[in-house]
């Protein structure tokens, strides 16, 4: 059975589904087997798409007008199609850059394999760039991750406040603009400096 899915980004009427619907009908999809969304392709969790994917059964084929109707994120597209493949469900793209994809044919599977390889390549590049950035930061004496929001001045105020039992820790953190985790990383509950606090104040 052919199951169709169509999507436009806006629900205010500035974009309509007529073109996609006509093409899906021409491809042999029955009107009652077409699912739709009025949502951005950046959102992976779309109600119409979720219902559509649940309606698909082994041997069915999901038909879309263009590949970007499923989503604009290559990794999400690849994961979605792999999931369909595992369930023995095909995918057919009618037009656009993914028009050669028809996982019911050997040629279509080859084209999708290229898309999957590109997604893996993209993932590896991101990983390599992240690692290189962290290595460069460490070589300059910096650790990875977001910088602490605590300064030496804030630390001294926190230390003095924590020495008082009546101090409201949540209020203190709010006033200093830091998290509890950052506070307790530098100061103990009774106001004593911890290792990170001593490093910040340059105390041996």
One domain for residues 30 and 75? yes
In a domain, 141, yes or no: no
C-alpha 8 chain-centroid distance: 20
The tokens for 196 are 């990170």
The CA distance from 66 to 41, in Å, is 12
Given the structure tokens 């993932």, which residue do they identify?
A: 123
Domain boundary among 120, 137, 169: 120
One domain for residues 116 and 156? no
Q: Which stretch of 62-76, 101-115, 134-148 has the lowest confidence by average pLDDT? A: 134-148
Highest mean pLDDT: which range of 23-27, 110-114, 149-153: 23-27
The CA distance from 143 to 136, in Å, is 10
pLDDT-derived band of residue 57, with 50, 70 and 90 as boundaries? very high
In a domain, 130, yes or no: no
Contact present, 138 and 163 (Cβ < 8 Å): no
Q: Which of 9, 14, 85, 170 is catalytic?
A: 9
Q: In this predicted structure, what is the pLDDT of residue 112? A: 65
CA-nearest of 122, 124, 121, 78 to 98 is 78
Q: In this predicted structure, what is the pLDDT of residue 24? A: 95
Q: In this predicted structure, what is the pLDDT of residue 62? A: 93
In a domain, 191, yes or no: yes
The tokens for 34 are 């077409």
One domain for residues 92 and 156? no
The string of pLDDT tens digits covering residues 90-111 is: 888 898 866 778 877 777 777 6
The CA distance from 102 to 131, in Å, is 37
Given the structure tokens 């041997």, which residue do they identify?
A: 59
Catalytic residue check, 9? yes
The CA distance from 113 to 102, in Å, is 11
The answer for residues whose C-beta is within 8 angstroms of residue 16's C-beta and 6 or more apart is 8
One domain for residues 37 and 88? yes
Highest mean pLDDT: which range of 41-50, 112-121, 175-184: 175-184
One domain for residues 115 and 160? no
Domain tally, the chain: 2
Q: Which of the pair, 123 or 203, is modelled with greater confidence?
A: 203
Q: Is residue 17 classed exposed, middle or buried when 0-12, 13-18 and 19+ CB atoms within 10 A define those classes? A: middle
For residue 157, the enclosing domain spans 152-200
One domain for residues 82 and 173? no
In a domain, 133, yes or no: no
| CB neighbours of residue 136 within 10 Å | 10
Structure letter (DSSP) for residue 97 = T
In a domain, 174, yes or no: yes
Global model pTM greater than 0.75? no
One domain for residues 106 and 163? no
pLDDT-derived band of residue 157, with 50, 70 and 90 as boundaries? confident
Contact present, 95 and 67 (Cβ < 8 Å): no
Domain harbouring 63, CATH code: 3.40.50.1390
One domain for residues 104 and 167? no
| CB neighbours of residue 33 within 10 Å | 17
Residue 32, pLDDT > 70, answer yes
One domain for residues 9 and 75? yes
């Amino acid at each position: 059975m052919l199951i169709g899915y169509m999507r436009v980004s806006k629900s205010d009427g500035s974009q309509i589904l007529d073109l996609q619907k006509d093409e899906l009908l021409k491809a042999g999809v029955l009107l009652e087997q077409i699912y739709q969304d009025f949502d951005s392709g950046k959102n992976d969790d779309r109600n119409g798409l979720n219902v559509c994917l649940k309606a698909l059964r082994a041997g069915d084929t999901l038909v879309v007008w263009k590949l970007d109707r499923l989503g604009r994120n290559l990794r999400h597209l690849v994961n979605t199609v792999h999931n369909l493949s595992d369930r023995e469900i095909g995918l057919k793209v009618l037009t656009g850059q993914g028009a050669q994809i028809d996982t019911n044919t050997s040629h279509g599977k080859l084209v999708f394999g290229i898309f999957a390889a590109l997604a893996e390549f993209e993932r590896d590049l991101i990983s390599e760039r992240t690692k290189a950035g962290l290595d460069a930061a460490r070589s300059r004496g910096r650790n990875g991750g977001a910088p602490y929001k605590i300064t030496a001045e804030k630390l001294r105020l926190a230390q003095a406040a924590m020495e008082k039992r009546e101090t409201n820790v949540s209020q203190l953190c709010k006033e200093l603009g830091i998290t509890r985790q950052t506070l307790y990383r530098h100061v103990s509950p009774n106001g004593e400096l911890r290792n990170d606090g001593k490093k910040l104040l340059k105390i041996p």
